[in-house]
Structure 1
């Protein structure tokens, strides 16, 4: 596993206004190149942690640094993939991928180069002229991922991007995501409610408790990359799913080990 610290939470607390703490006592160091999944009950602050990293909301106390800088300052490029594809229906797939590049001020030639590479990575080059309403749910999420990848991010934040998809499509996109990661190294923070998804994708799984959000435990995932559909069939994989599920149930009795 890479050892260079990239993202560091030190006693981080987050409150909104005068309300109760959403996150409290968060201590976490993530190395460059790691894939870290955040899992826990609703309201435990998983998505808030992503927003803190992205600099979309400030910490209330403690310290969060990215490459030893405050979030949103001279930090590395970040890509954000949300729960919904949030594609603009009046733009083609190609133009949707270019939106963040236009906002960053890239010229047309560089935009085209990055767009074509990103669409090729998610296997949607042939859909570049299609409109969002002509795509399946899985294809829309691929476009959303391509839009983030076009920024060539050092950090990729993914907030339950595949949660609304059927299990087969989600598994396939998980495999594609890891394949892309081999080509374009980035550090990933991945929010999910699926234990199996977290185990398949991650180097480490952070199990969060709620009320306030806090780290309950961190589980190391020992499986080497690349991971394939066969990985999911191994006894070791199933044993780890059970272990993480037990940790999750200890903080959320309603949780199951279902994908």
Structure 2
């Protein structure tokens, strides 16, 4: 049986803003359905820019990119974005915050209520559907943001440091929850992080980027079995991979300085 075509493909992609410096240079990769790709590298290497190019929010300067075989702007319905800040509307309760993108898509009220409730159940917040953002912890707000993205039933989930502002224990717990949700929904993920441990725990592929301009320095494959739990973090192979990626990242950052 032939391989399925890549869900995302970059071919010699370059990105610059106006007449400014090149942000990304000669970037080529393919991602298959079900991949969990973490992007890691020095500040300014273009990690978030890659997500924006995949989503079609920013145009490519040179080269080609496809999502599901078409230009990113034509595949917007296939993607959802989770940002570093939850960006919840403070005057809406949790249920209505999750319904917002469905309402914008014109989904009828009965369907969007049901979808929002299903997604809140996935992230463990169904009982807090009537709460307002001010009544939630930081981790709970981020769960609402993830539920809102999942309500669109995306094939690709783009996550831009969603847990970066959270404490380590909360982050570890949400990492486990995110993978549990993915096991049920089977989306492809592109995940920006500054945490090597987080990248190794979540991913089956890690792209280490260099900076000035941003290039794919190396790809690390992570063959740790799913599901991943706290026991995964104690395994020698996980710790070996964390050490390997950390060393590689330090060498990239040293060259960047």
- The alignment's TM-score, normalised by the length of structure 1, stands at 0.96
Aligned residue number for residue 105 of structure 1: 106
Aligned residue number for residue 204 of structure 1: 205
Equivalent-residue separation in structure 2 for 1:106 and 1:76 (angstroms):
13
Which string of whole-angstrom CA distances, capped at 9 and with x for unpartnered residues, describes residues 96-155 of structure 1?
A: 000100111100111011101100000000110000000000000000000000001000
Return 5+ residue gaps in structure 1 as ranges: none
5 Å matches for 1:13-28? 13-28=14-29
In 2 relative to 1, CA 216–165 (structure 1 residues): closer, same or farther, beyond 3 Å?
Answer: same
User: Shift in Å at residue 215 of structure 1?
Assistant: 0.4
5 Å matches for 1:39-118? 39-74=40-75, 77-118=78-119
Worse-superposed segment, 153-162 or 76-85? 76-85
Q: Which runs of structure 1 show a deviation greater than 3 angstroms over 4 or more consecutive aligned residues?
A: none
5 Å matches for 1:23-38? 23-38=24-39
Aligned residue number for residue 158 of structure 1: 159
Equivalent-residue separation in structure 2 for 1:93 and 1:50 (angstroms):
26
- The alignment's TM-score, normalised by the length of structure 2, stands at 0.97
Equivalent-residue separation in structure 2 for 1:73 and 1:176 (angstroms):
31
Aligned residue number for residue 248 of structure 2: 247
The DSSP-based 3-state class of the residue aligned with 2:254 is coil
Equivalent-residue separation in structure 2 for 1:208 and 1:171 (angstroms):
24
The DSSP-based 3-state class of the residue aligned with 2:7 is strand
Matched, 1:216 2:228: no
Higher helix share: 2
Aligned length: 254
Q: Is the 1:67–1:75 Cα contact (8 Å) retained in structure 2?
A: no
Aligned residue number for residue 229 of structure 2: 228
User: Shift in Å at residue 253 of structure 1?
Assistant: 3.0
Equivalent-residue separation in structure 1 for 2:207 and 2:79 (angstroms):
20
CA RMSD in angstroms comes to 1.3
